[in-house]
Amino acid sequence: MQRINKIQPQFQTKIDLIVKILLKNFKKSTGIKLKSKQEKNIRGYVADSTRGKAFWDGRFTVPYWALKMGDDYFTYYVAHELSHQISYIIFEGDAGANHKKEFYSVFKDVCPRQLYFYELSYKKTARSYGIK
């Protein structure tokens, strides 16, 4: 298991709450319920890093600078990385790693609609997958 460096534990409660809310919204929106073990393996961390990263084992990081950008941006960033995790589970691997159709089908159900615009500034191609 790859070690995550520079975790900022003082923000664990905040990221855990956002993950819980986003997972609940995903289930409500899609009717898809992840297996208990799969959901328990999903764990986000705030790390003092330049970018976020999703690991195959359910862990992901969101950079500390994203938290400093404000609650909306932080929620968007958590939703983005969480979408990778859910994509890995639903599409069994590779589809979760890319920013293509499968990833965006999950992202649209995880990320609050009013925050989609942040994704467009990150991946211009998101528009071709229904992110407006």
The topology under which CATH files domain 9-129 is: Zincin-like (3.30.2010)
**pLDDT, mean of residues 79-87:** 96
Q: What is the mean pLDDT of the chain?
A: 93
What is the pLDDT at residue 95?
A: 65
Answer yes or no: is pLDDT of 85 > 90.
yes
What is the pLDDT at residue 98?
A: 84
**pLDDT, mean of residues 91-104:** 82
Answer yes or no: is pLDDT of 3 > 90.
no
- Reading the block at residue 20, the tokens are 């819980």
What is the pLDDT at residue 96?
A: 65
Cα 38 → chain centroid: 15
pLDDT class for 92, splitting at 50, 70, 90?
Answer: confident
- Evaluate whether 57 touches 73 at the Cβ level (below 8 Å): no
Q: Kindly report, residue by residue over 59-79, the tens digit of the pLDDT.
A: 999 999 999 999 999 999 999
The radius of gyration of the chain from alpha carbons, rounded to an integer in Å, stands at 14
Q: Where are the domains of the chain?
A: 9-129
What is the pLDDT at residue 46?
A: 98
The pTM of the full predicted model, rounded to 2 decimals, is: 0.95
- Cα atoms in the Cβ-side hemisphere of radius 13 Å centred on 49: 15
- DSSP, collapsed to helix, strand or coil, labels residue 17 as helix
